[in-house]
Amino acid sequence: MTKKKCFICNDTLGMLKASCITKDGYLICGKDANRLDPKRPANTYRVPIKLSNFISSHTASEIESLLGIPSTVPYKEHPDL
């Protein structure tokens, strides 16, 4: 069984780390998710419900363009495969 990883930073997502799922099923860690909201502190992993809903309504490529950085993972493995 492979460990689930953030598609932006390739960080392993454990049970105690917050994560969100994009519209097309990719996972993003709480640290990268909070980078979408400039008012959020950079060192927190908690993701507010509004931000989680925003991420779940966008695809991974849209999130990449909103962050302005490409993902560090060249091949994005879909979690359902």
**Residue 9 included in any domain:** yes
Domains of the chain: total: 1
Query: What pLDDT score was predicted for residue 2?
Result: 65
Query: What pLDDT score was predicted for residue 3?
Result: 78
For the cut 90, the answer to whether the pLDDT of residue 77 exceeds it is no
| Mean of pLDDT over the chain | 80
Domain that includes residue 25, residue range: 1-71
Query: What pLDDT score was predicted for residue 73?
Result: 61
Question: CA nearest 9: which of 52, 51, 70, 59?
Answer: 70
61 CB-side CA count, 13 A: 1
**Residue 77 included in any domain:** no
Query: What pLDDT score was predicted for residue 30?
Result: 87
19-46 pLDDT, tens digit each: 888 888 888 888 888 888 888 876 777 8
pTM to 2 decimal places: 0.77
